[in-house]
């Protein structure tokens, strides 16, 4: 786990602060894992028109919300009782702020799943190639974020952070294409607008995971990106 030595000397006492930080780190990673799973379920819901995946994504968001509220209270309690310093304090403070971004990323996955249920009621406007690529990048980004967090790896955090640029580029490309559809066929406006919303949700999801990696880099290096 981050922050602490994973292999303390035999017989060494582990401080309450060390144990609390390890437990928090494990739960933040689990929360990131839930958002990664939700993003993949949203992908299945949209690209594969899998209604079951959409429903599981929507139902799972409550656990992410619950974890955010619980972890915020635990982090504040540890800071008040243990008075951490240096990297421990940066870890706790950064994690506290990152919880909001992780929760919002989960919300956007849920929004995509709900939109997918609506879109499935009509024939697809187009093949979801660019949207599918957005999902791939976001899932890769989440996996790299989890690695950065679990292994205290600033380079992995910077690499995850950089992936958001491809999501932004894809979003702009999708916008241009869907606007063309709307100009050429008024009958497509409703579905195109819904797909524009989906693309925006994915772009915002990426922004929030980008923020998480900025918090990881600050925790590890003291530098702000």
pTM of the model: 0.92
Distance (Å) of CA 40 to CA 17, 86, 108, 208: 35, 36, 12, 16
| Residue 5 scores a pLDDT above 60 | no
pLDDT digits (tens, 9 = 90+) for 162-215: 999 999 999 999 999 999 888 888 888 989 999 999 999 999 999 999 999 999
Per-residue model confidence (pLDDT) at position 12: 52
% pLDDT > 70, the chain: 94
pLDDT digits (tens, 9 = 90+) for 47-91: 999 999 999 999 999 999 999 999 999 999 999 999 999 999 999
Per-residue model confidence (pLDDT) at position 13: 60
Q: If pLDDT is split at 50, 70 and 90, which confidence band does 9 have?
A: very low
Per-residue model confidence (pLDDT) at position 74: 97
**Helix 16-47 and helix 189-221, axial crossing angle in degrees, nearest 10:** 160
User: Could you give the CA distance from residue 203 to residue 172 in angstroms, rounded to a whole number?
Assistant: 10
| Residue 6 scores a pLDDT above 60 | no
- Convert 150-218 into a string of H (helix), E (strand) and C (coil): HHCCHHHHHHHHHHHHHHHHHHHHHHHHHHHHHHHCHHHHHHHHHHHHHHHHHHHHHHHHHHHHHHHHH
| Residue 3 scores a pLDDT above 50 | no
Per-residue model confidence (pLDDT) at position 123: 84
User: Could you give the CA distance from residue 203 to residue 48 in angstroms, rounded to a whole number?
Assistant: 20
Per-residue model confidence (pLDDT) at position 10: 43
pLDDT digits (tens, 9 = 90+) for 90-113: 999 999 999 999 999 999 999 999
- Report the 10 Å Cβ neighbour count for 101: 20
Q: Which of 2-11, 26-35, 164-173 has the lowest mean pLDDT?
A: 2-11
User: Could you give the CA distance from residue 143 to residue 26 in angstroms, rounded to a whole number?
Assistant: 15
Q: Identify whether the C-beta of residue 194 lies closer than 8 Å to the C-beta of residue 81.
A: no
Domains and CATH numbers, the chain: 16-221 (1.20.58.220)
Per-residue model confidence (pLDDT) at position 33: 98
Give the count of alpha carbons within 13 A of 147, CB side only: 14
Per-residue model confidence (pLDDT) at position 186: 84
Sign of CA dihedral 168, 172, 177, 183: positive
Helices (H) and strands (E) in the chain, counts: 6, 0
């Amino acid at each position: 786990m981050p922050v602490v030595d994973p292999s303390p000397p035999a017989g060494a006492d582990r401080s309450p602060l060390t144990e609390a930080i390890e437990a928090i780190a494990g739960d933040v990673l689990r929360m990131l894992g839930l958002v990664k799973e939700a993003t993949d379920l949203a992908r299945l819901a949209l690209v594969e028109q899998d209604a079951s995946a959409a429903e599981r994504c929507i139902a799972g968001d409550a656990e992410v919300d619950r974890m955010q509220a619980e972890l915020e209270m635990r982090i504040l309690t540890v800071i008040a009782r243990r008075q951490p310093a240096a990297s421990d304090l940066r870890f706790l403070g950064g994690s506290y702020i990152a919880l909001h971004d992780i929760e919002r990323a989960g919300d956007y996955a849920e929004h995509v799943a709900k939109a997918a249920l609506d879109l499935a009621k009509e024939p697809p406007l187009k093949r979801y190639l660019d949207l599918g690529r957005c999902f791939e990048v976001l899932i890769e980004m989440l996996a790299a974020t989890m690695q950065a967090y679990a292994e205290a790896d600033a380079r992995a955090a910077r690499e995850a952070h950089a992936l958001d640029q491809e999501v932004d580029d894809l979003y702009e490309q999708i916008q241009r294409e869907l606007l063309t559809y709307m100009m050429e066929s008024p009958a497509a406006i409703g579905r195109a607008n819904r797909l524009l919303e989906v693309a925006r949700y994915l772009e915002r999801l990426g922004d929030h995971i980008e923020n998480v990696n900025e918090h990881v880099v600050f925790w590890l290096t003291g530098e702000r990106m």
